[in-house]
Amino acid sequence: MTRRSVLLALGGASLLAACGNDTTQWHAGGELPGDSHSGEASADPTPSVIPSVAPPTPGHCPAIPGAGTPRRGGPQYYLPCKDTQIALTVDDGPDPQYTPRMLALLAKHDIRATFCMIGRAAAAHPDLVKQVVAAGHHVANHTYTHPLDLTKQSAAQIRAELHRATDAISTASGGHQPTLFRAPGGAWSSAVLSECGTLGMRPLDWSVDPRDWSRPGVQHIVDTILTRTRPGAIILEHDGGGDRDQTLSALTIALPRLLDAGYTFAQP
């Protein structure tokens, strides 16, 4: 069992009980120090087998530890369970090649997502930021430069990463102020959470991670999404940071199947 699996099994409440300890760190995400967003090229065949989707049961929410009830100030791993609701989050953009394709795919299925944007990418592509906002998607702060481990930064560096990203997103979008923050790699610490709170943002994590940034193959991404999604799930995908053809191909398969199974997409 991976460390992230252990943390999720313990649930949000037990994980976040140590928020007041300045030395506590959490590496709950799929990207850890040393990971690279570019990934290695891998075989990318059309999935030969598409797994079935466990449909949501009306009037029933699975017993997920900490689902939708994170300790005050701590990261959110799940939506509050409302029978059929799940969320899609899209990280590391905007990207001129992949963000427009992601927007077109989401528009086709009338899905609203949350785009966790890197500040310097938002500053470089303000028109894309405006398009994301105009389409009804949320834009979250994902730091300015995407350091691999924010918890190893000084308090001043953490503050600069968050503040600069918010300023860049606000300027690019024409005034949109992020209300959500996602730490790169899910690397949380009390200092990161404190600065997040100072800016009036809620910390957002995830519960379904196909590690699409590493380009593991369309089959792997589709399998992970369709077999692990349950009511309340927050799915992690990417539209920036490298070649995202596999991500888009996988979502083209997975999203309509989730909708056909009865899931509805909400925003955290």
Catalytically active residues are 91, 238
**In what helix (H) or strand (E) does residue 197 lie, and over which residues does it extend?**
helix 190-198
Q: Output the six-digit token pair for 99.
A: 């963000």
Q: How many residues are present in the chain? A: 268
Q: SS3 breakdown of the chain: % helix, strand, coil, rounded to 5?
A: 40, 15, 45
Could you list the beta-strand ranges (E) of the chain.
Answer: 25-27, 85-91, 114-117, 138-141, 180-181, 187-189, 202-203, 234-238, 264-265
Q: Is 134 exposed, middle or buried (0-12, 13-18, 19+ CB in 10 A)?
A: exposed
